[in-house]
Structure 1
Amino acid sequence: MTQTFDRRTILKAGLGASAGLMVTGRVNSSLAQSPVRLTMAVWGGKAEVEAYNQVIAKYQAANPNVSIRLDVIPFGQFYQQLDTRLAGRQAPDLFRVTYQQVGRYALGKAAIDLSQFIDSGYSAAFTPSVWSAVNYQGKPYALPHHTDTFALFYNADMLAQAGVTVPTSLDQAWTWERFIQVAKLLKEKSIGSYPFAMSWQNSAVHRWMIYLYQHGGQLLNNDLTAPQINTPAGIETIAWTQSWFKEGLVPPSTSVKSAEPVQNLFANGTVAMMLNGNWQIPFVNQQMTKFKWGVTYLPRDVAMADDLGGTCVAISRDSKSPEVAADFLKFLVNEENMRDYISAAQFLPVRKSLVEGGVQYALRPDEMKVFVEQTKTIPQHLVSTVVLPTWGKFNPKLADELDLAFTSGQSPEQTAQNIEAHVKNILLSS
């Protein structure tokens, strides 16, 4: 039996805790009156998981007929487990997803179109880059939750020992040349086992793209229809990042296909600097007890560029209660809860009001300001590239080829040619 409910009825039933639940048709009466159980799959460190649980507890307190179980999966296994459960039609109701993966789940209809659950104008509250990232063919298949980006962590004691001072503003960021000079100085003085390390492990190739854009290059042409990696800019970027390994400036175990947690190497003093994201601040703050540390801006070349990081949340096609899942999702990303989450887990906001008004971070607020400034340097073309549904087909080959360049000495020219051929084939077959 079905019954028509207006918004007031649903609110009385305990649903609709987030503003703006759109009721577009007939709602099963048992949905509002009977207990609803949801599962949300995520990955994350201690601070992230605690922050998720705080929002869940808050929602459940306002909606006692809804229970939400958080399913925490290690990041290295997350997408494999999620895809297996989707194939078996036993996926969680909601799942965390990087912006780079949204297109793939939208194309395969594994995530549902959320248009039916949001009001017109809802998108205006979010920054344009992240809203475009969750859309596929003009429809949202996830809601943005937060973003993150990269900057340069440094061991203040080690750099002081080398007589090095760091930039204090974005326009004073080190050039590539100066960054390598500092790294070689640290190596010559035997300060730390290695000068630095880059966090792009587990095939996070989109993070290598930072340097490609800094050097004036692109993986694809302007309209995203053809490869553009086999160019001087592409080859030179491969050569520059390859030189880190050739010259012993980074640990050999930190290539793109490794699983080395570089934050551990930084915290214990193995490396003097690391290129990593703002979400590492709680870990470093807790673990790096023997050294003083700080954060400065990424090195730059002909341009400054940074990575679109962060995650959004989607609802799977297997959810038996998509209306309730959507209501919780909007509650999760509303202004108040977004502020609380990113403050606790050291992420960056994606709502315009929070970006413009600022967020008061209790932990290392000066360092967080650096990351906030870096978000202003994310190229829109980079965003458009990494959110393509075909990105998941580009990524493994890019990781294979870059790893060969970094660990086996494959020439930058051959690496660019191999990537170009693969990308061309994928685009032609899509």
Structure 2
Amino acid sequence: MSGHGDPIPMTARKGGPLSGVAEVPGDKSISHRALLFGAMAVGETRITGLLEGQDVLDTAKAMRAFGAEVSHLGHGEWVVNGVGVGGFAEPQDVIDCGNSGTGVRLIMGCMATSPISATFTGDASLRGRPMGRVTDPLALFGARSYGRQGGRLPMTIVGAENPVPVRYVVPVPSAQVKSAVLLAGLNAPGQTVVIEKEATRDHTERMLAGFGAEITTHDSPEGRVITLTGQPELKPQTIAVPRDPSSAAFPVCAALIVPGSDVLVPGIGLNPTRAGLFTTLQEMGAELTFENLREEGGEPVADLRARFSDNMQGIEVPPERAPSMIDEYPILSVVAAFANGKTVMRGVKELRVKESDRIDAMARGLEACGATIEEDEDTFIVRGMGAGGLPGGATAQARLDHRIAMSFLCAGMASQQPISVDDAGPIATSFPIFEPLMESLGAHLARTKS
């Protein structure tokens, strides 16, 4: 699949049970960070299990543009020879981050405290996403930004010549914002402090410590306080990237709603700041079990087994869980459509500024498939129709959003009538093997004419 170019319409229809082993790709969040930290270390960082989706490949290309040596050795195996903290060279061309909000925001943080300039752009979806949430705190270090109206790409960042450390309270839960500030703090003297009122995924903090940075975390009345001492020499590492829980969500959830299914997804990262979906599914009554619990590369890992669950119940998902599963609400809303009763998702306004307005995209698509939906700015409610109850028979608009496309294709595997998406191309940004992997489990997917 290609994340760019002509649309790739695709249809999913009901077939037999899904069964087998689903070896999903490496974790996207950790893959981005492995490349970034490798580029800012001094020496050779070796990475295995890297996600080779378009988002991560764009980050690899960007690190080359900033002067690091990035080499692909084979499937998932990469070597990065870094330039050290503050060692980025000024890129000769525009940095195209494709569809990746994570990539562009973290790279902006990496270069914002070096005396260089860089211009960033992306695809139509990324050019529509707000960057002010990152450029505002980067300005506190002394960086300047010049973009389109509304703080949108294309945008030029002029790095600070004499950066100062920052104390920043993250206004809304966002691992991207927190990480961008910490990455900028690497090349600022003294201590940069980030305070988040709600804990978000902590891959950046874990990896900073692994690369030798002096970083501490403690809870306070203000929230979670992260203190980073600037201008360290990061030491190169060997990183084994665990499999992505956000990608695992699709074969797991498809197995839960397709009758007779039994799917094992091995080696999934279960970082507590990322595992909210699996907790929620278990609360709904899903037959989801964790096997072979272990730790790899400082991250908790397990094998997940998902079996068809014909009596799942709608629940109220606590809003404080949102940061640990923000990318999984689209596929959760599909599961909710096949549960009994009402599933209420609150505290989810962040979904409106993702690759698309994910609440609106899922609401309109599910309604077209026969579900009953309620929503407001910060709430998404799905009234379940029970196992096999979703009529289907519609074409959903993916809106250049990989997770929307995959969610509706999973819905079509269990609905009464097939479900199509207008463009499955963006799936390549995060899960390039989605189509063959799901077909290997028994799913019926077909590329259709536009």
Q: Normalising by structure 1, report the TM-score.
A: 0.26
Which one has the bigger helix percentage? 1
Higher relative contact order (CA 8 A, sep 6+): 1
TM-score relative to the length of structure 2 = 0.25
More strand by share: 2
